[in-house]
Every structure is written in structure tokens, then in C-alpha cells.
Structure 1
Amino acid sequence: MNDHSLVTAQAPRYAALLIDFDGVLRRWPASDDAIEIAHGLPIGSLRRIAFVPALLDQALAGRITDEQWREQVAERLRATYPGSEAEAAVGQWSQPCGQLDTEVMALLDACHPDLRLVLVSNATTRLARDLQTLGLSERFDAVVNSSELGLLKPEPEIFRAAFARAGVEARQALFVDDDPDNVAAAAALGAHGLRYRDCEGLRGWLEAAGVLRD
């Protein structure tokens, strides 16, 4: 896949930009060391337990709520580290909702106003609350949340749902994600994908696609 040669004389006009949330638009701290140290947990234990696929995927697919997921994280931490303050650690860990990448948001603001923007995220049932807290509730034309659909990227049906909500065919859609498997899955359906690495790469790709304002 050539990220920077999207537009030819025969290429369709891109009508929608489908974009991932975590790892593209939203950033999290590099570590949780301070929380873990303060509550008697080993360094790295919060994410190691919270992000076990067998548990996390239940939350991302909507089989359990965000609250239930965090409760199970606390239970597993308490069982593994009985002398720790597991509940307090998970409570503090759960308070932030991340930070927006202002450079990426500025690029979205620089896109043509008729380009439909669709957020496509593997997320828990807390996504709507986080979007509201970050001031993004009205920013997207549609939000495709895995926990609402019961589908996870890179399953093809979640991308088909995103195309439908954007009101476009796959060939009219741009898709940006930091996970190469997700990009490959969207591209297999006909979308034009970019694996996100940095803002400058995204800027060049959007310019090549012809969707930034002059």
C-alpha cells in the first residue's frame, strides 16, 4: 500500500474520513508508575491486568460495561497483590480521560467542511462520556463504537457499519488507524488507508488525497 499516491485522474472523490481515537486523536500517559507506587502495586501491573485480551475484549465488544471491566480489574489486582490498595488504584487510574492531540485536531479542522468525519473506535461503554468531557460530542458526523455494535476492528462488519453511517461507499472513504491490521482490513474492503505514525505523515497523506482546504 502506497500511503502517498492516493489520487490519480481516475480516483474517486473522497467523501469521508474515518479515524481511530486512541493512538491517533487521544494520548495517554506513558506509564502508571506513580499510581502503582502510591497504592502498593508493582510497576506495570495495572495495564498488564487491565489489558489482558480475554478481559479487555469483553468490554470492547460490549459484553460487559466499562464499570464492570474496571471492577474486574480491581478484583484481579486484589487477588494477585493482596496487600495492595487495588480499588483505590483503579479508581485513580480511571479518573482521567486522556488528552487530545491538538495537532491532529487542527488537521481535522483544516479538512474541507463537506468531508464527513467518522470516529471508529474499539472502545468501552465510557466512550460517549469521554467525548463529552473532551468537548468532542458534536465534532463528528458519526461515532462507531465497538461496544455498541458488538464488533471489534479489524472485523469487516465494523467497517461496513462505518461506511454506512458515513453514507459513502468504501472507495470514497479514507481510513486512519495506528494499528496496521485495522488499516489492512479497511483497505481490503476498498477504503484508502493510512497507518498513523505521526502528524506530519498524516498531513502529507491528507494533502495527497485532496481533502485539506487550499
Structure 2
Amino acid sequence: MTTAPDHHDGRPFDAVLCDLDGVIRHYDTSRVTELERASGLPEGSTAERAFAPGNGLPLLLGELTKEQWVDALAHDLSARVPPARARALSTAFAEAESWIDECVVDQLRRARASLPVVIVTNAAPWLDDDLAALGLTDLADHVVSSARVGVAKPDRRIYEMAAARAGVSPDRCLFVDDARENVAAAVALGMTGVHYREPADLRRALAVLTPPR
């Protein structure tokens, strides 16, 4: 475990705050797409409804179990497809397999040798089980999950909590996320923001941690 440095050593940040889904973890939704096509739904319809305010926000704030979320999503989709198909779509979405970008994981592990790394994620209540199953329990010094703290990005409070966990002020944090609005909120607090699209985005941001040869 690392601690925040007492001085900056010329670096633009003293802690890395990183999103989970879309950066470290990715999902295989091919089965969902297959079912959507068979149902005559536009691709992405299930995800759109899964994270619509009435379904997604209660989940991300820790107010729903997985079963309750699946039920709510199935009920929502049943307005567009038969109930059995709606249930199949919601179940397939909730049970989609995930995979880890090992390149990103390696970069974060290297960064953690120099400064604190905090995962800041809008996540479901079962995040701890997911991290254990993926072998990521030791990836970061701290995990700030919306379902646990009761506030979700882009609310400024979750960023402030993450910076406090890292032991540095917000203006000494690098924040990495695949959602522009989440990065914009971090930048508004004085953080260095990286809109993540590919591992090279993170690599460039962390290059300052590698001493010149």
C-alpha cells in the first residue's frame, strides 16, 4: 500500500483516481445484442433501460438487489416485447460475462508503486464479490463505490470522498473515466482529467511517473 507523498517531486498529481467499468472492466454483451435483434429492438435498448434513472440510479445507490433490478428491468422491457423475452433480456444483461484489460491493470499496478490508486465507480452492491472473482481486490489502495457511499458520479461528493481516501487534495488528483461528464465534474474540482478511450490515454497520463533514462 502506498501513501501520499509529502512533496510533489515535480509531478502534476499525487494520486490516481480511476473508473472501473469501461476502463478496467469490460462486458461481453453479445448475447444481449443477439436477443435484441431477435426481438426487433435497437441494439443497446436493454442497456439504456437498465441504467435509466428509475432502474439504474436506485441500483447504483445500493437500494436494489440484483434480483430486484432484473425484475424492474424485465417489467420495463415488457412494454416493448413479450414478458418472456423481456425476462430473457434482463437476465442476459445482468449475467453478462466481464473481462479485464490487463494492460490497464498493469499500468495501475505500476502507478501504485509510486502513489495511491483509488477506484471510483458507479457500481452495484455486489461489487466486492465481482472484484474478488476477477482477482482485483489488491489493485487499489481504496475502492469508492456509489452503492456503498450512497452518491454517484458526477456528484462532486464522490470525488471529494475519493481524494480524502487517497489523502490528497482534489487538485492533486489524476481522474480517469470513460464518461465525459464524469471527467468534466472532476476537472471542475481542480483535478487533472483524462477522458479514457484506450490504454494509450492512461499510459500518456502516467508517463510522468517514469523517471527519464
TM-score range, shorter chain: 0.7 to 0.9
Q: Number of paired residues?
A: 203
Which of residues 206, 211, 214 in structure 1 aligns to 2:209? 211
Please give the alpha-carbon distance, in whole angstroms, between the structure 2 residues aligned to 1:151 and 1:173: 19
Give the alignment's Cα RMSD to 1 decimal.
Answer: 2.5
Quote the Cα distance in structure 2 between the aligned partners of 1:33 and 1:94. Answer: 13
User: 1:12-32: per-residue Cα shift (whole Å, max 9, x none)?
Assistant: 563211001111111123652
| C-alpha distance after superposition, 1:179-213 (max 9, x if no partner) | 22211211222221111122112211211xx2246
Counterpart CA distance in 1 for 2:109 and 2:211 is 9
Q: CA deviation at 1:171?
A: 2.4
**Residue 12 of structure 1 contacts residue 172 of structure 1 at CA under 8 Å; is this kept in 2?**
no
Contact 1:26 1:100 in 2 (8 A): yes
Aligned to 1:6: none
Residue of structure 2 equivalent to 1:26 = 25
- Paired with 1:60 and 1:163, the residues of 2 have a C-alpha distance of 20
Q: Which moved more, 1:77-86 or 1:101-110?
A: 77-86
Tell me the equivalent position of 1:113.
113
Q: Decide whether aligned partners of structure 1 residues 75 and 108 sit closer, same or farther in structure 2, where only a CA change above 3 A counts.
A: same
What is the identity, as a one-letter code, of the residue corresponding to 1:127? L
Change (3 A) 1:151 1:67: same
- Aligned equivalents of 2:12, 2:98: Cα separation in 1: 34
Q: Deviations over 1:29-66 (max 9, x none)?
A: 3652224467x573534223212233211211223233
- Inter-partner Cα distance in structure 2 for 1:136 and 1:78: 36
- Indicate if the aligned counterparts of 2:105 and 2:139 stay in contact, CA closer than 8 A: no
Mapping of residues 15-164 of structure 1, within 5 Å:
15-29=14-28, 31=30, 32-36=32-36, 42-44=41-43, 45-82=45-82, 84-111=84-111, 113-164=113-164
Change (3 A) 1:211 1:128: same
Distance 1:48 1:191, change over 3 A: closer
Contact 1:16 1:117 in 2 (8 A): yes
Partner of 1:4: none
The alignment partner of 1:120 has SS state of strand
- Structure 2 portions without partners, runs of 5+: 1-7
Work out the percentage of aligned pairs sharing the same amino acid. 36
Confirm or deny that 1:201 pairs with 2:196.
no
Q: 1:3: which partner in 2?
A: none
TM-aligned CA distance change 1:186 to 1:124, over 3 Å? same
Distance 1:67 1:28, change over 3 A: same
TM-score, length of structure 2 as denominator length? 0.82
Calculate the TM-score normalised by the size of structure 1.
0.82
Question: Is the CA contact (8 Å cut-off) linking 1:110 and 1:213 kept in structure 2?
Answer: no
CA distance in structure 2 between the partners assigned to 1:68 and 1:161 by the alignment: 28
